[in-house]
A = this chain, B = another copy of it.
Amino acid sequence: MKNYTHINDIDNINSWIEEAREIKANPLANFELGKNKTLGLLFFNSSLRTRLSTQKAALNLGMNPIVMNVSGDAWGIEFGDGTVMNGNTAEHIKEAAAVVSQYCDVIAVRAFPTLTDKVKDESEQVLNSFAKFASVPIVNMESATSHPLQGLTDAITIAENTTKKKPKVVLSWAPHIKALPHAVGNSFVQAMQKMDVDFVIANPEGYNLNSQITKDTPIYHNQKEAFKNADFIYAKNWSSYEDYGKVLKTDLDWMITNKKIGNAKFMHCLPVRRNVVVADEVLDGENSLVIEQANNRTYAAQLVLKKILEDL
């Protein structure tokens, strides 16, 4: 594998899940694989889980992680083609990506969307520019429209925790006061579409995700109906896709509660706003998988880095 930028880079999700679980059972088994190899982690945005779990994954493979907060540590990056750079940006992505490739064997990048410019966000300018101009493999640590390390993590977590051959999985929109990206929702949808699960989405009207991603996955605007007989309920807020980046409702009737989930397992990628997205009782209850899900971030990242290192 060269880059891991999208759920579609997973050729066979079941074998990937199996391999991730082997890694989890024996995290240091490939400690020699990454020896003297450097992973550059470039953050254009904040990060806690991704920052720590991807470093941990690299360390488990014997790699040296080097972290850079691009905006704080360096300078503004220009992405335009042919731009006369007499404004605020001081370095072009062509040089930045090529130069970082001289020092790092793999580059991982986080760059969030604007949520104001749909065309720009869907062009995945930052991620795709790194993929284009870097001479080393690129890992997506959450881009404008996808978060494939999270999607892979979620698939692993469901496989680990299911008691059925074909569980029912529901992705439910949940309320939030700020406009959030679609990346986690998109990658979860795409991961579930690759798995042998009964998968539906629940969201209020006006909150449908991009139909080119949801495809023929059933979408319910009635949360209660969607949750019937669910085995896994994955909550996540996102802003409107149609009315791009807008927050159409913030009232709490879509908040996840114990009464709503019944015996289903609860999942969320974190960070999560308590008593807005989900009630304390759910997060503090025994059906919550969120901490184990966060733990699996390490093994998803480690699987991806392992596959990249094997093909270097």
Contact = CB atoms under 8 A, between A and B. Distances in A.
A290 interface: yes
B66 A99 contact: no
Given A48-B75, A85-B276, A94 B28 contact: no
A73 to B, nearest CB: 6
Interface in A35-89: 36, 38, 40, 43, 46-49, 51-53, 55-56, 59-60, 64, 66, 68-69, 72-75, 78, 82-86
Interface residues of A, number: 61
Contact of A86 (B56, B82, B177): B177
A91 B38 contact: no
A94 B284 contact: yes
Nearest to A102: B295
Interface in A92-112: 92, 94-96, 98-100, 102-104
A90 B271 contact: yes
A132 interface: no
A49 B49 CA distance: 26
A40 B53 CA distance: 11
A40 B55 CA distance: 11
Contacts of A312: none
Contacts of A31: 36
Interface of A: 28, 31, 36, 38, 40, 43, 46-49, 51-53, 55-56, 59-60, 64, 66, 68-69, 72-75, 78, 82-86, 90-92, 94-96, 98-100, 102-104, 177, 250, 270-276, 280, 283-284, 290-291, 294-295, 297-298
